[in-house]
Structures are given as C-alpha cells and as structure tokens.
Chain A
Amino acid sequence: MDEILTGWLLDVYREETSLTLWLLDDDGQRRRLTHPFPAAFYAAGPANQLRALWRWLSEQEIQVHLSRMERKDVFQGIVTVLAVEVVHAPQLDALFRRAVETYPDLTYYDGDISISLRYAARFGVFPLARCQVVVNAERVKTITALNTPWELEPAPVPLRILSIEPDRDPAQACPRHLVIRYDRIRYILPLEPARAFLISLRSTLERYDPDLILTDWGDTWLLPCLLKLSKEYNLPLPLNRAETQGVIEHQARTYFSYGQIVYKGSQVQLRGRMHIDRRNAMMWSDYGLEGVLEMARVTALPIQDAARLSPGTGISSMQFVTALRANILIPWHKHQAEQPKTALELIHTDMGGLVYQPTIGLHKDIGGIDFVSMYPGIMVRFNISPEVPRSKAGDLTPATGEPGKVPSMGIVPQTLAPLLEKRIAFKTALGNLHPKDCRREVYKARASAEKWLLVTCFGYLGYKNARFGAIESHEAVTAYGREALLRAKEAAEDLDFSILHMYVDGLWVQKPGCSTPEDFQALLAEVSERTSLPIALDGIYRWVVFLPSRVDERIPVPNRYFGVFQDGSIKVRGIEARRHDTPPFIAETQMKILAILAKAADADRLPDFLPEARQYIGQRLDELAKGRVPLAELLVSQRLSRELTEYSSPSPAARAVWQMQAEGKQIHPGQQVRFLYTRGEPGVHAWDGTESTDISMVDSNRYKTLLMRAVGTIIRPIEQHFEIMPQHSNYVLFPNQKAGPVKELGGQMPLATFLDLRGRLVQLH
C-alpha cells in the first residue's frame, strides 16, 4: 500500500543497483528508502566508431537502452550522439569506464557526473530539501520538492548532532580521553581501557542515534582509530546507520590548486549518518556548520562532500545540475583550446583587473565604495558564458547571441543568477536586522558560503578543468570590470570627488565636506546608472593609511592599507595581522595598537593616542624579553610548498620538517608546518615534533624584529604624517633608507596598472 511521507532529505547515495535515500520524516523517523533510477551518458564521433560502440554495448551484461539523438554541446552547438541510458544508475560508472577503455577516441559526455547530482537535477531535490515522497514498501514511487534552495529561511531541520573531540591534538600527543556532547549533555570518555571505552561509545551511538557526527581530527585520527579498535576487540560500532554498507575511506592526497600546493587529509564518510571533521572541513572557521549546510543546499552536493570539497567543485556541481536540467551535454574532457589571437591582441585582452595605485599616506573622511559581487554580477548582467558570442569590448551591453541559436541566458549566468540574488538578499537582510537579532550569525554564515562560491566562479571560468570554462569568457569579465571601474572613476571625478585608490571592484574617494552616507548617495546612483551594476558604500573611514612598498617607500602598494570606519570598526588589508604566517603574538599586538588608535574621534586626534600605543608596545617588548609570552603565541605556521628534495636552500618550514622526519613523522607538500624560531642551529623548532622546548631556546631577537616591523607598519606613517620624531629607532621598514615625511615623497602621480592573470602588475598604456 502506498504511503505519503513528508520530511527532509538527508542523504542520497548509490548502492549495488539502486539509489538509497535517507529521509527524516515529520514523525521524527529516519527512513531508509530506495529508488530505482536510470541515468545516461553520451558519445559522439565518427559514425563507424559509434556503430561499433553500439554493438559492443548491446553485448554487455549491464542493461541499457540505446538511441541516437541530437543534443546541445555548449562549444560546438547541436551534435549527434549515441545516448546510453543505463537502467540502474549505480551501474553507469563501471560501464562508462569500460566503454572509454575500449573506444578511447570518441568524445564522451555526462559520463562522470555523480549520482546525487543526477538525482537532484531529475527531481529538483537537494540536501535538506523539504520533500513529499510516495513510497511503497520503502521503495520510492514519486518524490517532490516542497521548497527550493533559494529560500532565505528554510524550515529548521531537527538534526541530532553528536560532537566528539579528543582532549588534545593527536599530531602532538596521544589523546587520553574524548569529550562527547549532544543536546545538553557533555561528558568525558576515557580512551582506556579500550573495551570499556568502545562499549560506552557504542551505547551512546545506539541511544542517541545521531544524524550528524561532528568531530575534531575525525578524518585523520579518530574514526580510523575507532575502526581499528572495533576490529581489534571484535566490538562493532554503529558508526553507519545503514548496516549494509561499510564506512567509506578516502586516502590523503596532495594537489595543485590555483598555483598553490594543497594537502587534503584522509577522509571518512558514513552511510545513513553524516560525518564532518571540523579540522578537515573547508572554510569551517569562516562559516561553520550553518555555512556547510547552505553550501550543500545550493550546490546539491551531499553534506559530507559539501563540507570537504572546494567552492570550485560547488560551482561546478551547480553548473552540472543546470546543464542536466536543460539537456545540455557535459563534456567529460574539455577539448576547446583558446581561440588563436595575435600577440598584440593577447596584450590587450589578457589584463586582469584594473588597479589605480593609492596615494601613499594618511587620509581622512574617505568613502570606500564597492561594486556588489562585481565579477559574478558582470557574468549575470552581461550574460557571459562560453556559448554566448561577445559584444565589442568597452560596450557595457548584455550579450544576446545569435537569435534562435543560443538560449537567452548562457549556462554560466543561468547558474549564478539565483545564487547572486540570494547573497544580495542576505546582505540586505543583514543590514536591516537589529545587531542582537539571533538570525544574524546564521545569515552571516550562509552569506559567507555563498560569497565563496561567487568569489570562485570567476576564476573557475578560466580554470583548465572547468567543463563550461573558456579563457575568452574569463577575459571578457575582466574587460567589463575595467570598463565599469573607469566609468565609476569618471562619475566620481564629474562629481568633484578625488580618487585615492582603485582596486578591481572598489574605489576610495574623498571630497571636502563629504562625511556622511548621504553625501555619497548621488555618487552611488550615478555610478550605478553609468555601469548598470549595483554599487554600495562599504563605509566612511575616519581615517585610512595607504602603505608604501617595503623596498622603496616612494612606491605605493595596491590593497595594502589600514583604516578606521566612523563606527570605530577597523579594516586592514595586506599587513602582518592578515598574514597566515604571522605569529599570533605579533598579529594581536598590531591589532591592539590599531584598537588604541581607533579611539581617536578623528584623524587630527591620532597623536593624542600615540603615547598609549607606545606604552603598550613597550609592555609587549618587555613580555617578550622576559620570556612571558606563551610559546603557542609565538608559533609560525607555514605551508610546505614542495617536496623536501626540491628545496635549493631550505626554508625554516623545510628545516622544521626535517626535524619531524628525523623523528619518523611524515609531512607532505601542502600540509601546514608549525614551528618556533630558536637560537643557534638549525634556527627552528618543529612544534609538532616529539622533542620539547622551552622559552629559553626561543630566538627573542628575531621575534623582536618581527614585532617592530609590524609596529612600524602602523605607527611610522602616522608619525611621518604629523612629523613626529620616531620613538622607537628600530623600526625595520626601510633598513637602507633614512626616514622622511611621506608628504615630501608622496607627490608622484598614481600609476594606473593592471593585474594580469598571473598577478603581475602591468602598467596601463
């Protein structure tokens, strides 16, 4: 007999021949359902090879329906393909692999799309979607989504969350107990004796039956350790809710991403429950669980994947779902190279974002205005997508393509539009919420998850493995961006504003007498009118300091500044406190100095607060000299950027790794290495090694140098502005030059430059 269920879709994954769904129904039951589901891949190529593939497929054991049809390839238009519909979707992967091995010269489409994305595209569902499901004997007959991923406030899902964390970092020392938390319960579970520990944990898992297990170091230490113990003591642990499947383990790996080497630790995923390791989750410190769930909702990636995969994979998944719904072929490998162009054309097109160098020094009453999500906004507003022909450069009109040949909106903007709309809605809502409104944190986390997707979507257009990427589209986005920024500059100058700095999507402007948000409204309206892109006031700075190059203080550096808004909040970019490798003690000192200076009601009162700042600096130097700084506050954290054998001159991080290797610990390229600077040879102490150290070994002179450099970044420009003699003679900003007032040096014309795709500064001709 049919049963109608409503509830939240928790997870979708494949089993032998069918799909398994986990539904949390309105009665609080966790229902394991199955859904038979066909899926297709496609092949294109010479007719004789397609015929051979057809014959070969007909002879395979896996049940398929074969047909010839025409489908749309984004890069080539309509193509004739052999459609291979696999009756049981979970069998598609194996058949596809064999087909590729047997007929490698054909062009394949839709072959490697995960089953959860196919399901999302077919039925309009997504993780945590409210669904109505008609079932018969736990077998799904129909499933209907009752909401969309674009709702700002979906109905809260009553997830049962169990948190498990060891008492210490397993990389440093062997943990002694676990801290277990769920609902309002918190208790400590000793790891020894192991049998008692396992029995107790099993009891908790059975009793509470969590949907989500949140751990610290669960991927890399805890779950592998639990599985091993469980086997050793022959005491099964119900980590999975689904008894028919084992725990899924993925090995650690190192890979290149956006020019950086990245290490991804091993992963352990569960079936029927979900496992997220906070230490191995992407952007956890930025947006936490709320952001992970939002990422899963909008990308349709299963929650355990959404927690671990990059925003680039998220964007890619969204594009796949859009393509599947629109019957657009998803190339297995992108074959399209860049269209040939002349070297002169390359110089004109491959320029990146526009940068207008800042005017060095201290400035007051500055308006910071930013285009709202500029690059995604351009992609949506101007319909930038590989299949849509471009209009001429410098013309800010949407591309429409040839009538009847392309959709009104390309696949890229079609994917991004609702995401962009949702992010803007969150930003607007956040602006209207009371500061103490409990929804603020949730909205911020969700908006942050969306921000990362939107930030990534532009780079992804030029990414080599992006199926719907094209370097020409990537270049078009920056061309529109440069044009929009130039128009904004012209608008500002027409309204008598001075431009102090421009950086890709933001401008810093100043006009005597303009110091309230209302004073900037006319400018915002004018820019929006001239560019047809939304622009907003980031804030009005009481004062802001644009910093020079460390090498030559006559040269300005883009996007390196600090300032204080009218509400007292601080904004910093490009200084020590923002760097990941700055020891916390130094970053904290720099930010505290800024907090002291932020007390000044206006820029002219800054000298009044310098004595307090200097006193604080003296205090911090004293703490350092007397060895009163906790060692953890002095830790430097750097990423190992290559194999040890590839270092021509070993960096401090490499020396720390050698120490760890000598102790038998393995560190791979892409992994973070924590160390202290110490006196003598080798000059560093690996924090995660087994040998202990004490404060007497710390190279306090080196830390003092780093501290004074960070202090100098903040204090020196202010002293220079007010022509105050430096109190600390050992600022190490410009070791080869004498200090001089910025005013004497700052008269040069700002240079307009471009940041090209490799991040080089290229002067505007």
Chain B
Amino acid sequence: MDELIETHPGSWILVAGPRAIRATMLTLIARLAERGPVRVLDGGNQFNAYLIARQLRGQPNLLSRISISRMFTCYQVLAALEKASELPMPLVMLDFLRTFYDESVPFHERRRLVSRCIPHLRRLSVMAGGAVSIHPPAVTSSEAETLFAILAEAAAERWIQDPPAPIQQPGRLC
C-alpha cells in the first residue's frame, strides 16, 4: 500500500483505516519530501519528525522541505485550510476527522465545518495533489459514519483498509 499511494494534481485521495496507517502516511510524506516541498496539516498529533528523519536515511536537510502545522480543534482545521494559499506542493492532511469526533461540539456544527473544509481540500490539491488520512473513532457512531461519508463522497480516490476484527466481549467471569 505504501508504494501505491500517489498524489495527482487536481485531486485528493482519501486514505482510511486503523491507526496503523499512520506509518503509511509518514512514509508517503518522506517519499514526497525526497521529490520536493510538501505541506502537512496534522489534525491528530500524528506527525513524527523523528520517524520521517529515519526514513530519509541520512538526508536530514530534506526535513526542511516539509512544512508542518498542527491543529487541535475542528475550528482550527477549517481556519488552517482557509488560510492556506495554493502552492505547487502536495498536501498531506493527517487524521483529518480526529478533531471532528469531539462531542463537545454539536454534531450539526461539526458536519457544517467538514463540509466547509472540502472545497479547500480541493483548492489546495489543484497544483500538486493531496492525500487525506482518517481513522475510525474509538467508539463507532452514526455521526462518525456520516462525517466519513461526506469525505468519501468528495474524494477522487479512496484507499480503505479494513480495521481488525472487533474484539468479542468475554462472558461473565464470576
């Protein structure tokens, strides 16, 4: 999967799966940095510069090609996307939905914000393409599924890795 994901100018791809796909996304960032500048927006505190440095194998100067900005609320995600200008570099958005799972924000508001983000994902991917990763929430909900559906609908391509089989709750032990 790591080698297959490619960004294409004019569109963005959705990479969905368990937290383990973080490694795939970091590999993608390292690979993109080898080719040129790359912009990373991190919605889930997933960016790890040390892991990427290891993947860049003795080319620490390539770390300077990666521009990173972290967001901790869904409002910040939208604000960061709105503020970003179109540049000739691919966009990698890590754990896009993490902040949108925050139940302290009413669901209609989260849905509105996700919808407002989508045109910006498209805009920022025009020149060099983009990749957006998402993970399922800790506890699945219909709200999370709705948010996922909005994103999946808007993505040009979808890479979906199945989560591991759910764990069966043990029976009564006493």
Q: What residues make up the interface of A, taking CB atoms closer than 8 Å to B?
A: 104, 255, 333-344, 346-347, 464-465, 471, 642-648, 650, 655, 658-659, 662, 681-682, 758, 762
Cβ–Cβ < 8 Å partners of B170 in chain A: 650, 658
| Residue of chain B at shortest CB distance from A256 | B102
A465 contacts B73, C-beta separation under 8 Å: yes
B111 to chain A, nearest CB (A): 11
Give chain A nearest CB distance to B60 CB in angstroms. Answer: 7
> Can you show 25 pairs from A to B with CB atoms below 8 A apart?
A333-B75, A334-B73, A337-B69, A337-B80, A338-B69, A338-B70, A340-B69, A342-B66, A342-B67, A343-B47, A343-B52, A343-B53, A343-B66, A344-B60, A344-B63, A344-B64, A346-B68, A347-B63, A464-B72, A465-B73, A647-B167, A650-B170, A650-B173, A658-B174, A682-B174
Question: Which residues of chain B (44-102) have a CB below 8 Å from chain A?
Answer: 45, 47, 49-50, 52-53, 60, 63-73, 75-80, 83, 99
A329 to B60, CA, bound (A): 42
Chain A residues contacting B172 (CB-CB under 8 Å) are 658, 662
A464–B76 alpha-carbon span in the complex (Å): 9
- Nearest 3 A/B pairs, CB to CB: A464-B72, A337-B80, A335-B79
Please give, as numbers and ranges, the residues of chain B lying within 8 Å of A334 by CB-CB distance: 73, 75-76
Q: What is the interface of chain B, defined by CB distance below 8 A to chain A? A: 39, 41, 45, 47, 49-50, 52-53, 60, 63-73, 75-80, 83, 99, 104, 109, 112, 138-139, 167, 169-170, 172-174
Chain B nearest Cβ from A317, distance in angstroms: 18
Return chain B residues, CB-CB under 8 Å to A346. 47, 49, 68
A650 closest partner in B (C-beta):
B170
Out of A342, A644, A662, name the residue touching B169 (CB < 8 Å): A644
B109: which A residues are within 8 A, CB to CB?
104
Question: Smallest CB-CB separation from B139: which chain A residue?
Answer: A643
Contacts of B52 in A (CB 8 A): 343
User: What distance in Å separates the Cβ of B17 from its nearest Cβ neighbour in chain A?
Assistant: 18
Nearest Cβ on chain B to A240's Cβ, whole angstroms: 29
Name which residue of chain B comes closest to A660, CB basis.
B174
Contact assessment for B174 and A338 in the assembled complex, using a CB-CB cutoff below 8 Å: no
A682 pairs with B75, CB closer than 8 A:
no
* Chain B positions within 8 Å of A340 at CB level: 39, 67-69
Inter-chain contact A682/B173, CB cutoff 8 Å: yes
CB pair B173 A659 closer than 8 Å: yes
**A337: which of B50, B60, B79 is its contact (CB, 8 Å)?**
B79
Complex alpha-carbon distance, A418 and B82, angstroms = 39
Distance (Å) between the CB of B65 and the closest chain A CB? 7
Contact yes or no, B75 A341, CB < 8 A? no
Q: Is the CB of A336 within 8 A of B68?
A: no
Chain B, residue nearest A760 (CB): B50
Complex: how many Å from CA A334 to CA B79?
Answer: 9
Q: Which residues of B contact A347 (CB under 8 A)?
A: 49-50, 53, 63
B8 to chain A: closest CB distance in Å? 23
Distance of B83 from chain A, by nearest CB (Å):
8
B169 with A659: CB separation less than 8 A: no
Most buried by B among A255, A338, A648: A338
Residue in contact with B75 in the complex, picked from A335, A647, A762, CB distance below 8 Å: A335
